[in-house]
Amino acid sequence: MAKSSVLGYPRIGADREWKKALEAFWAGKLEESEFHNQLQKIRLDHLRKQQEKGIDIIPVNDFSYYDHILDTATMFGIIPKRFSYEGGVVPLSVYYGIARGTKDATASEMTKWFNTNYHYIVPELDGAAPTITENRPLIAYREAKEKLGIEGRPVIVGPLTFLKLSKGYDVSETDVWLKRLLPLYVQILQELAFEGVQWVQIDEPILVTKLSEDDRKRLKIIYDTFAAKAPNLNIMLQTYFESVENYSDIVQLPVKGIGLDFVHGLSGNISSIKTYGFPEDKVLGAGVIDGRGIWKASLREKLVLLKELAGVVTTDKLIVQTSCSLLHVPVTVKNEAKLLPELKNALAFADEKLDEIALLTKAVSSGESTITDELEKSESVLQSLKQSDERNRNDVQKAVATISAQHPVRSLPFAERHTAQQKKWQLPLFPTTTIGSFPQSVEVRKARQSWRKGEWNNEQYADYIRKQIDLWIKLQEEIGLDVLVHGEFERTDMVEFFGEKLAGFAFTQYGWVQSYGSRCVKPPIIFGDVAFEEAMTVEETKYAQTKTARPVKGMLTGPITIMNWSFVREDITREQIAYQLAYALRQEVEALEQAGIGMIQVDEPAVREGLPLKEEDQAEYLAWAVKAFRMTTCTVHDTTQIHTHMCYCEFHDMIDSIEAMDADVISIETSRSHGELIHSFELNTYKLGIGLGVYDIHSPRVPQVEEMTSMIERALRVLDPNLFWINPDCGLKTRGVEETVDSLRNMVKATQIAREKHTLTV
């Protein structure tokens, strides 16, 4: 009999109960004991749901108080010295300090989890003395067994993945660190085995990336050690997000099971199995249900795949499971009452994917005839969506085909544009600006809710937004910023706002997913052809410009970010979706310019996270991503200054592509990893306008002038002062008013110091 499993379940709850508990605790509204009680209830409810849905193998220790990589680091006592950790179980004050920063200590770096929109906290190994603070997988296993009678499968991030995702050590020290960590992993596993745990899931997603020969040797050492030290424990070596590299070596490792992604890594993993086979003594975890997408599976197609796999392994050694953790999808479609029926019927969130797993497992074990009705229904709903008017707009398809066949390029090269723009704008050395958004207070959110509920009419809401713009234009002038923004008070989310105004999008009411910490986002669904309908940002930006003589930037989200931060349709390529978005956004850029807005920022913070994990696929993706950006921005006048914003993204890997975007100014989120980025510029020359974020907006602390001055000076060692801008790391929507104003005042003071120092030398 085949078994069913998932690799992890969303933490946040159907109504974001987890998020609300975290934020109440941080705000001092929830005592620590009650906080633990609330999170335990959420955790047990999630386990119970999987149990009731008929999932055979349920993961435990996939739940987190913030982030699973942070959990692993703190379990091993890997705490940066600046947090004054004194040993023992890591207090929540230290745990959350690492994630969010404190008054006296900056937070640890946060970056993307492979090519997803989930962010993890980067472990800092420098100066750490690893030790086991508590056996988290064991605690989670005991809780599930004692409270619910569940024989759970503990989940732990594998040593190689953990090391490869950490910082604060030289590559030459890798083996030294492995020797420090390996005994701790062994102790964790031995304690699990002693407890009677049958299976443990060790996640090694790093195995889908290209590894060095040394890393492949380390992998063998790791799992040989585990097999020798915990011989009675069954290890499921789990991979996801792509097909594994070095398949023939990995299947020979001394583990009892191997989990493979047969959704995003389908072609590569199937090819490897056909070429090398699969060991008879191992269990195959077949990730056939997409853990990252939101569309119902074609159950018939999945059964064809599972039959093919059943020809390689016997049914009793086959586990039908998700391709990765369900962390990346919303909880349930059940509560979505406002979606078009043909769309809602075609969706499957986490709970619906549990049903799909259970159905497929039943069919594999007992025959297709046991799920005949479900097979027919899954095909019917997918076909209905395929034939919908929204997916068959000939006007959009023809226009995009014509434009995408052209080579998008500005009429003058950057150097000539820069001269014309400087003549027009007369900006000082080191112009200051922000990324776009300002704090959205409780009052701002309440006003939006009143408008959405119909309690306010359009004019009442527009008047409220204009008053917010008035306030913040005045504040920006008082602070001394050179290039202003209108503040984006009318926007809920930088993707959702545009999706609501473009054709081809749909929005859920409860489709939240975790982005980082308690930050949850509700990704739009691109389910049809994308089309521009009317100007989206002109009214507020034009109004803001009437309130100041200083330039006000128009603010848009770029095509690649909208795509990567949305759930997208699967019937056309992502490249085609990007070009549809670019064509629609180009019309908005042109509308802003026609309204007299001469600086326009098209943000692309998510370019990196869409980068394929396979090196051989990356150049093609970057080529069409750059093309989509240029399609959006290439038609403006030479004196119109195009800005963009990106998050830190291993700059040296993408510098050619970023330059090829040909934005006049790029701002980059860097404050948590400033030194690494500066090093990138030591190795690579960047010849366009650039602003490196000089303070971290994800932390509530107000940075001192000296901190920002130091960052500015480090950047100016390798960047052209005449092309250098000064700005915060990212948008300021989530920050408080007082801290925002104080931080920006300090930023302007740091800029004035830099100007005084460098004016005579430029």
Residue 672 has pLDDT above 60, yes or no: no
Q: Give the residue with greater pLDDT, 730 vs 541.
A: 541
Take residue 630 and report the two structure tokens written for it: 């240029």
Q: What are the two backbone dihedrals, phi and then psi, of residue 566, each rounded to the nearest 5 degrees?
A: -120, 160
Q: Which amino acid is at 28?
A: G
Name the band, by pLDDT with cuts 50, 70 and 90, for residue 649. low
Residue that the structure tokens 């997918």 belong to: 382
Give yes or no: 698 in active site.
yes
**Structure confidence by residue, pLDDT tens digits, 151-197:** 999 999 999 999 999 999 999 999 999 999 999 999 999 999 999 99
pLDDT at 492: 83
Give the mean model confidence (pLDDT) for residues 74-80.
97
Whole-angstrom distance, CA of residue 723 vs CA of residue 689: 4
Residue 671 has pLDDT above 70, yes or no: no
Give the mean model confidence (pLDDT) for residues 38-54.
98
Q: Quick one: CA dihedral 260, 264, 270, 272, positive or negative?
A: negative
Whole-angstrom distance, CA of residue 357 vs CA of residue 354: 5
Whole-angstrom distance, CA of residue 648 vs CA of residue 658: 12
Are 723 and 688 in contact, with CB atoms under 8 Å apart? yes
pLDDT at 56: 98
Are 585 and 632 in contact, with CB atoms under 8 Å apart? yes
pLDDT at 652: 65
Is residue 200 classed as helix, strand or coil in its secondary structure? strand
Name the band, by pLDDT with cuts 50, 70 and 90, for residue 299. very high
User: What is the share, in percent, of the chain residues with pLDDT greater than 90?
Assistant: 85
Residue 481 has pLDDT above 90, yes or no: yes
Compute the mean pLDDT over every residue in the chain, rounded to the nearest whole number.
94
Which residues on adjacent β-strands are paired with residue 552? 484
Name the band, by pLDDT with cuts 50, 70 and 90, for residue 665. very high
Name the band, by pLDDT with cuts 50, 70 and 90, for residue 482. very high
Q: Which of 100-114, 282-296, 471-485, 524-538 has the lowest mean pLDDT?
A: 100-114
**Structure confidence by residue, pLDDT tens digits, 595-611:** 999 999 999 988 888 89
Name the band, by pLDDT with cuts 50, 70 and 90, for residue 256. very high
- Residue 550 gets the label, from left (phi > 0), alpha (psi -120 to 50) or beta, of beta
Take residue 135 and report the two structure tokens written for it: 């056996």
Annotation: binding site for Zn(2+): 645, 647, 669, 730
Annotation: binding site for 5-methyltetrahydropteroyltri-L-glutamate: 16-19, 112, 519-520, 565, 609
Residue 561 has pLDDT above 70, yes or no: yes
Name the band, by pLDDT with cuts 50, 70 and 90, for residue 648. low
Q: Give the residue with greater pLDDT, 649 vs 16.
A: 16
Give the mean model confidence (pLDDT) for residues 193-203.
98
Helix then strand count (H, E) for the chain reads: 27, 21
Residue 742 has pLDDT above 80, yes or no: yes
Residue-by-residue DSSP string for 205-252: GGGGS---HHHHHHHHHHHHHHHHHSTTSEEEEE--SSPPSSHHHHTT
Tell me the domains of the chain and their CATH numbers. Answer: 3-332 (3.20.20.210), 394-401+421-758 (3.20.20.210)
Whole-angstrom distance, CA of residue 632 vs CA of residue 643: 12
pLDDT at 629: 97
- Dihedral angle over CA of 132, 134, 137, 142, nearest 10: 140
Instruction: Give the HSE-up count for residue 47: Cα atoms under 13 Å, Cβ half-sphere.
Output: 28
pLDDT at 112: 87
Name the band, by pLDDT with cuts 50, 70 and 90, for residue 760. low
**Structure confidence by residue, pLDDT tens digits, 429-469:** 999 999 988 888 889 999 999 999 999 999 999 999 999 99
Residue 673 has pLDDT above 90, yes or no: no
Annotation: binding site for L-homocysteine: 435-437, 488, 603
Q: Report which secondary-structure segment, H or E, holds 37.
A: helix 32-52
703-712: long-range contacts (C-beta < 8 A, 24 or more apart)? 703/743, 703/746, 704/746, 705/746, 705/749, 705/750, 705/753, 708/746, 708/747, 708/750, 709/750, 709/753, 709/754, 711/671, 711/674, 712/430, 712/750, 712/751, 712/754
pLDDT at 251: 97
pLDDT at 505: 97
Catalytic residue among 68, 119, 486, 698: 698
Within the chain, what is the greatest distance between any pair of CA atoms?
82
Annotation: binding site: 16-19, 112, 435-437, 488, 519-520, 565, 603, 609, 645, 647, 669, 730
pLDDT at 475: 96
Cα dist. 484→582, 615, 637, 679, 757 in Å? 25, 39, 20, 30, 25
Name the band, by pLDDT with cuts 50, 70 and 90, for residue 411. very high
Residue 762 has pLDDT above 70, yes or no: no
Query: Which residues are within 8 A (CB) of 350 and not within 5 positions of it... i.e. 6 or more apart?
Result: 9, 10, 326, 329, 330, 331, 332
**Structure confidence by residue, pLDDT tens digits, 354-400:** 999 999 999 999 999 999 999 999 999 999 999 999 999 999 999 99
Annotation: binding site for L-methionine: 435-437, 488, 603
Give the mean model confidence (pLDDT) for residues 96-124.
93
Whole-angstrom distance, CA of residue 459 vs CA of residue 475: 24
Cα dist. 699→47, 279, 442 in Å? 32, 49, 19
| pTM score over 0.85 | yes
Give the mean model confidence (pLDDT) for residues 283-291.
98
Name the band, by pLDDT with cuts 50, 70 and 90, for residue 675. low
Give the mean model confidence (pLDDT) for residues 469-496.
94
Give the mean model confidence (pLDDT) for residues 200-204.
98
